[in-house]
Amino acid sequence: MNFTDKPIVVTGAAGFIGSNLTDKLLELGANVIGIDNLFNGRLENIEKAKKSSNFEFHKGDIRDLSFLLDIFKDVSIIFHQAAFTSVPQSVKMPSNCNDVNVNGIINILNAARTLDIEKVIFASSSSVYGDTPTLPKREDMKRLPISPYGVAKLACEAYMQTYYQVYGLDTISLRYFNVFGPRQKDSTYSGVIAIWLGNILRNENLTIFGDGKNSRDFTYIKDVIQANLLAAESDSPGEIINIGAGNPISLNDLANLMLKITNKKDLKINHTDPRPGDIIHSFADISKAKKLLGFTPIYNQEEGLIDYLEWYKNKHNINLDIKK
Ligand SMILES: NC(=O)c1ccc[n+]([C@@H]2O[C@H](COP(=O)([O-])OP(=O)(O)OC[C@H]3O[C@@H](n4cnc5c(N)ncnc54)[C@H](O)[C@@H]3O)[C@@H](O)[C@H]2O)c1
């Protein structure tokens, strides 16, 4: 990818996906401005980026339009990753989720329009599909979100399309399917792979909400970064595009795979009640991403898990026996 001298903004730069995207952009020679209010992000995630003279970090909130107007001056592209990201928390606090995600994107789009920004790329989510039975999920299918988080992401996509149709702003929404990898938080509201990895390293049994037959299209972070870079170069204004591995796995199989790779088959897999807002099956049709972006995932789930574990081993200097 060729970068102009104009900086690129990554919102949510101290979060899981935003920080990985920031590092990749810096590696490719871009000037990056990261913004984050540190609600869920960590300064530790941008320690590496901060060593680069091409990186600037601003602590601030996407709901603050004057802050955005100030930061976005002379910017070329915005990768909008900041969000209220927890599905279960959105069930508890729907207005907060709406405030950050929907009011936040309106501010981002208004600032981008005012300042003639070239392109806005938005991190949407497979949660917009809800529990519709047809699989794999295609972009033109019915969307019936079953959580306030999914509803907010759907509204954001509609705003992204509307700002293209009404104001001619170049926007693309990428619907991510369950992303995993380095820097994902190991906390109650995180993705299941990060939680189970934490359990495994502490020699704790794994817990599955429900019977474990539910499945997800776990997508490795490096493939999500690849998709964002392709989207930045593409000419697909107003489009909404699935980004997934295109390769679903049940939670039971995933738990067993993680125990196998980490050589911890003695740990148990326990089942508890399903969580409200959780969908049963999710699996991406990625033909549109292939066609419009030239996107092909490089990592299957096992390869992604191994890459993630290698990173974890090096970062924390731990002795982990990875079975390849
Ligand atoms: N991780 C996934 O599996 C997944 C799947 C689908 C979509 N997404 C989307 O991808 C994006 C990145 O997700 P992530 O997993 O890195 O989550 P994350 O929580 O690690 O990152 C989000 C970042 O946004 C910041 N933030 C929250 N509210 C803010 C505000 N008001 N102003 C400024 N910054 C704010 C947080 O502090 C955090 O650093 C989000 O939009 C998320 O909805 C993620």
Q: Which atom of ligand 1 is nearest to the CA of 219?
A: 3
Measured N-to-C along each axis, helices 148-167 and 104-114 cross at an angle, to the nearest 10 degrees, of 20
Q: Map out the domains of the chain with their CATH numbers.
A: 8-178+219-243 (3.40.50.720), 180-216+247-282+300-316 (3.90.25.10)
Which pLDDT tens digit goes with each residue over 158-170? 999 999 999 999 9
Q: Which atom of ligand 1 is nearest to the CA of 153?
A: 43
Phi-psi domain of 315 (left: phi exceeds 0; alpha: psi -120 through 50; beta: other)? alpha
CA distance 104 to 97: 10
Alpha-carbon torsion, ordered 13, 177, 238, 111, to 10 deg: -20
pLDDT of amino acid 321: 79
Which pLDDT tens digit goes with each residue over 219-272? 999 999 999 999 999 999 999 999 999 999 999 999 999 999 999 989 999 999
Q: Are strands 179-180 and 77-80 parallel, antiparallel or unpaired?
A: unpaired
Ligand 1 surroundings by CB, under 6 angstroms: 12, 14-18, 36-41, 61-63, 81-85, 100, 104, 123, 125, 176, 178-179, 191
Which pLDDT tens digit goes with each residue over 19-75? 999 999 999 999 999 999 999 999 999 999 999 999 999 999 999 999 999 999 999
Ligand 1: distance of its center to the CA of 253 in Å?
27
Token pair, residue 124, equals 């949407």
- Give me the active site residues, please: 149
pLDDT of amino acid 190: 66
Ligand 1: distance of its center to the CA of 15 in Å?
6
